[in-house]
Amino acid sequence: MDAFISYSHRDAEALDRLHVHLANLRREGLIEAWYDRDILAGDNLDREIEKRLEASGLFLLLVTPDFLNSDYCVEREMARALERQANGEARVIAIIAQPCEWKSTKLRALKVVPNDGRAISEWTNPNSAYLDVVQEIRRAIESDVVSSVTDQIADAPHTPLGVQRRYRAKRDFDDIDKGEFREAAFAAIRDYFRAAAAELDSLDDFRGRFRELSATSFGCTIVNRARDRGTAHTIVRMRSGSRFAFGDISYSYGEDAAENTANGSFSIGNDEFELFLKGSSFSFGGERDNERLSPQLVAEKLWEDLLQRAGIAYE
């Protein structure tokens, strides 16, 4: 799908990060993203943008205060994108990159990303926000492909569909596959906590301390200085061998919690196509125990749980 990225030139850094996170969609042939940097020297700027506005099937709006301040972005690119969506000719996805008054614009009628419209800059780990954005883009593209195929079958059942399809092979996962996934998942969670603790420690009202205890465990302590009992601890361990009773990745709340204890855990699950994490019967979340989770989402859940126990919440 041809995608038109509308952005303010003041937000070039956010554009670059979005482009990085779209890499897998590009490799799979699901998206070909275009923005005005792709205009060659000597091309007519307005004419090339006009051509792309009419030809693209997907519009990604990188929404920030500078985007809303740009008459060109709002009154030309966004206006035409929304008009084409209203006519059933394209899809518009608004990506809230920075806090801004987007709810006072026509974007309020859209489902925006990341989740709940929380600006990417407000996430503890922006990569988690971009992951949420890209997953929503993937779902939108795949949904449109399915709809396109269905329509073509109904309208012209004996003609080639001309749609590039994605194929996935069913496979078996052996112990090596699961072991590599376990190590990669633990590393992703550890790196998330290291970055999040450093970010929290840079703020005036809080303290954050990350400790790498061993190659398979780390601890994190955070302090809310505004609260008498505003201290919380988490130890995360990667399990193996005889310790699988605690799942593949477990967590404990004590600062020096014994290795043979855990407050919850996550185990590796799989279907016929991929590996994922899922919560155990005694992990937090209750009704979400059977939810399929990525390592990034597990890290986000564990970090938010730690913040809540210290009396800290996102604004």
Euclidean distance between CA atoms 104 and 293, whole angstroms: 34
CB neighbours (10 Å) of residue 109? 10
Tokens of 186: 């633990």
Q: Name the superfamily (CATH) of residues 2-155.
A: Toll/interleukin-1 receptor homology (TIR) domain (3.40.50.10140)
Tokens of 224: 């809310």
Residue (of 300, 271, 274) closest to 288 by Cα position: 300
Tokens of 231: 């201290």
pLDDT for residue 55: 86
* Angstrom distances, CA of residue 185 to CA of 117, 178, 292: 27, 10, 13
pLDDT for residue 168: 61
Query: What tens digit of pLDDT does each residue of 160-200 get?
Result: 444 445 556 677 888 888 888 899 889 889 988 998 888 88
* Angstrom distances, CA of residue 19 to CA of 46, 135, 257: 23, 14, 42
Euclidean distance between CA atoms 59 and 73, whole angstroms: 12
Euclidean distance between CA atoms 131 and 166, whole angstroms: 20
- Region for 107 from its dihedrals, namely left if φ exceeds 0, alpha if ψ lies in -120 to 50, beta otherwise: alpha
- The residues near 309 (Cβ < 8 Å, ≥ 6 apart) are 232, 253
pLDDT for residue 79: 93
pLDDT for residue 150: 39
* pTM summary value: 0.51
Query: What tens digit of pLDDT does each residue of 278-304 get?
Result: 887 555 554 445 677 888 888 888 999
* Angstrom distances, CA of residue 237 to CA of 204, 259, 292: 30, 8, 20
Q: Which residues of the chain have pLDDT under 50?
A: 38-44, 146-164, 242-243, 286-288
Phi and psi at 279, nearest 5°, equal -75, 150
Euclidean distance between CA atoms 145 and 148, whole angstroms: 5
CA angle in degrees (0–180, nearest 5) for 148-151-155: 135
